Amino acid sequence: MKILFKQQKCPTYPSASSSIISNCYFKELFGESDRKIINIRAHHHTDYEIHMVFDGHQIYECDGKSVRLGKGDFVIFPPGVRHKSLENSEDLHKYSLTFKSDFFESQKMLCGKTTDHINESLEFVAKESASPTVFSAQLCMNRIFETVILLFRLCGFKEQPQEKSIEHFDERLSLAKKYISDNLEQPLAVSDVAGYCYLSNKQLTRLFVSNEGLSPAKYITNERMKRICELIIDEDISFKEISIRFGYASECYFSTAFKKHSGMSPGYYRKMHKKSQ
């Protein structure tokens, strides 16, 4: 037996997988080493245990029934389910996963066939673990988490459906706001933002009005003025420089637009903040 991967207790890059799966071990086993535990008494674990056969075969006994695993087969033993190994071939080559989880609720042995994608993921983890880099632990855990979910799905497990409509629009809103923030110093039309988010102008407007309480055009103006206010406080930047940077036709036009938005001239705004410092 060879332990290829052990989940870190405090991962450097936390992810959803670490909240669903913990204390995870990924092991590689071969016929010669596995035969040493043949005829061991029936036992159980407090963790989930999954065996996936890459070559050869193995026979298990669980709840008075025997199950033969050949190439491409897998078995899942949930916590508390008694089992033991009865027989394995000399050319047995398999991978084993053990982990804690409160997410799954199976109380009986589950069996099925792996897929090419799952097998490729297992080989990826084995290779990545052999020559680890700074991101190897996270890459391996991502593949292991995906493998576990896919194996349970192959056994009929179904997760709760996600409320896609709300999340979908939240994602589009965040995308739009990030695009606006990155391009405040450019001429920015509502159609530019809508096109970037693959939305119509009407869809984008509904999205902003329902979530921000204002139109996208007004949001752009507000965000641009916030950025300008930050620059005005910096006395090393002239109003002419600010007006050029944000595409105003002249310093006078910039001053008029700023006063219309904030109720005061850029000069008064700078003076006011200088006194408060």
Q: What is the 3-state secondary structure (H, E, C) of the chain?
A: CEEEEECCCCCCCCCHHHHHCEEEEEEEEEHHHHHHHCCCCCECCCCEEEEEEEECCEEEEECCEEEEECCCEEEEECCCCCEEEEEECCCCEEEEEEEECCCCCCCCCEEEECCHHHHHHHHHHHHHHHCCCCCHHHHHHHHHHHHHHHHHHHCCCCCCCCCHHHHHHHHHHHHHHHHHHHCCCCCCCHHHHHHHCCCCHHHHHHHHHHHHCCCHHHHHHHHHHHHHHHHHHCCCCCHHHHHHHCCCCCHHHHHHHHHHHHCCCHHHHHHHHHHHC
Task: Answer yes or no: do 225 and 118 share one domain.
Answer: no
Q: Output the CA–CA distances (angstroms, integers) from residue 254 to 45, 219, 245, 246, 265, in the order listed.
A: 71, 18, 11, 9, 10
Task: Answer yes or no: do 135 and 189 share one domain.
Answer: no
Task: Answer yes or no: do 61 and 176 share one domain.
Answer: no
Q: Please tell me the predicted confidence (pLDDT) of residue 237.
A: 87
Task: Answer yes or no: do 209 and 130 share one domain.
Answer: no
Task: Answer yes or no: do 10 and 146 share one domain.
Answer: yes
Range of the domain at 129: 2-154
**CATH code of residue 249:** 1.10.10.60
Q: 166 exposed, middle or buried (CB, 10 Å; 0-12, 13-18, 19+)? A: exposed
Tell me if 159 is assigned to some domain.
Answer: no
Tell me if 119 is assigned to some domain.
Answer: yes
Tell me if 264 is assigned to some domain.
Answer: yes
Q: Are 197 and 204 in contact (CB under 8 A)?
A: yes
Q: In total, how many domains does the chain have?
A: 2
Task: Answer yes or no: do 11 and 105 share one domain.
Answer: yes
Domain stops at, among 134, 154, 174: 154
Domain stops at, among 154, 174, 203: 154
Domain stops at, among 154, 186, 206: 154
Task: Answer yes or no: do 22 and 105 share one domain.
Answer: yes
Task: Answer yes or no: do 121 and 252 share one domain.
Answer: no
Mean pLDDT per block of 10 residues along the chain (277 residues) reads 82 60 91 62 90 93 90 95 89 94 87 96 93 90 94 89 59 93 92 93 93 94 93 86 90 92 90 74
Task: Answer yes or no: do 137 and 174 share one domain.
Answer: no
**CATH code of residue 53:** 2.60.120.280
Q: Please tell me the predicted confidence (pLDDT) of residue 150.
A: 96
